[in-house]
A and B are shown apart, each in its own frame.
Chain A
Amino acid sequence: MSDITQLLLIAAGIGLTVTALAAIVRIVRGPTILDRMIASDVLLTTLMLAVGADMVARGHTDTIPLMTVIAATATLATIVVARFVKRRAEQPPHQQPKETGHV
């Protein structure tokens, strides 16, 4: 493995670490639940890219099943949370006419 290749892989590792830290910061600070779910999606994508970079750097194929499982199931939590947020937002218009009468 040449020096340039090694340098590129080290830079990629640093970049993926920075992205994971940024996603964790947004998960902690995010004002709404949707921001947190977007950030957790980014964290899982970064994990998938890191697993792939590890396979390239060390020359093995052991974690391809892990990549497949993450790609297939990572977004289920996001979809469920998005449905939940939408339902909560749709409730007030149905309750409002009872409380305030006809507008």
Chain B
Amino acid sequence: MFDAVLDLIAAVCIFLAAVLSVAAGVGIIRFPDALSRLHAATKPQIFGLLLTITAIALEERSVATLLALVPVFVFQSLTAPVAAHMVGRAAYRTGQLDTTTLVVDELAPAIERSEESFARRPERENDAGSGPSKSG
């Protein structure tokens, strides 16, 4: 009886992970620009994997399996945010985002300030004004 309940919980966890995965698939098909697609794509990377690992641990019921599964989650939670950060940064810097969907853009003034202070450095030649044409 107890084993059957644990098996059922494991299957439900796998099913929820698949639902998150389907949400990511629908998101990358239907969302308009790279940043929205990135938002959809990162949903199953952490929580879906956590549900799958929980399901495997509930199915096997051994400490050795659980110890083998912990590094999977540790590696994924270390590398997935780095990749998402790099893709989001590249998407913003190359202008691959739909600016009409933005409510507030807090990064643009910061970039402007840093470019101004970069252009005002005395040893640089006067190349101010090249900033706005960057996003193309």
Contact (A68, B72) CB under 8 Å given A4-B8, A42-B41 = yes
Task: Verify B52–A53 contact, CB threshold 8 A.
Answer: yes
In the complex, per-residue mask of A73-103: 1 if CB is within 8 Å of any chain B CB, else 0? 0111011001101101110110011000011
Task: Verify A56–B55 contact, CB threshold 8 A.
Answer: yes
How distant is A27 from chain B, measured CB to nearest CB, in Å? 9
By secondary structure, the A interface counts as: helix
CB < 8 Å: which of B24, B25, B86, B134 contacts A83?
B86
Contact (A71, B76) CB under 8 Å given A45-B48, A56-B59 = yes
Interface size on B, residues (CB 8 A): 63
For A53, the closest partner residue in chain B by CB is B14
Q: Told that A42-B25, A42-B44 touch, could you supply 11 new A-B pairs with CB distance under 8 A? A: A2-B7, A34-B90, A38-B34, A38-B41, A45-B48, A55-B56, A56-B56, A59-B60, A71-B71, A72-B79, A83-B86
Residues of B within 8 A of A (CB): 4, 7-8, 10-12, 14-15, 17-19, 21-22, 24-26, 28-29, 34, 37-38, 41, 44-45, 48-49, 52-53, 55-56, 59-60, 65, 68-69, 71-73, 75-76, 79-80, 82-83, 86-87, 89-91, 93-96, 125-131, 133-134, 136
Residues of A within 8 A of B (CB): 1-2, 4-5, 8-9, 11-16, 18-23, 25-26, 32, 34-35, 37-39, 41-42, 45-46, 48-49, 52-53, 55-57, 59, 61, 64, 67-68, 71-72, 74-76, 78-79, 82-83, 85-86, 88-90, 92-93, 96-97, 102-103
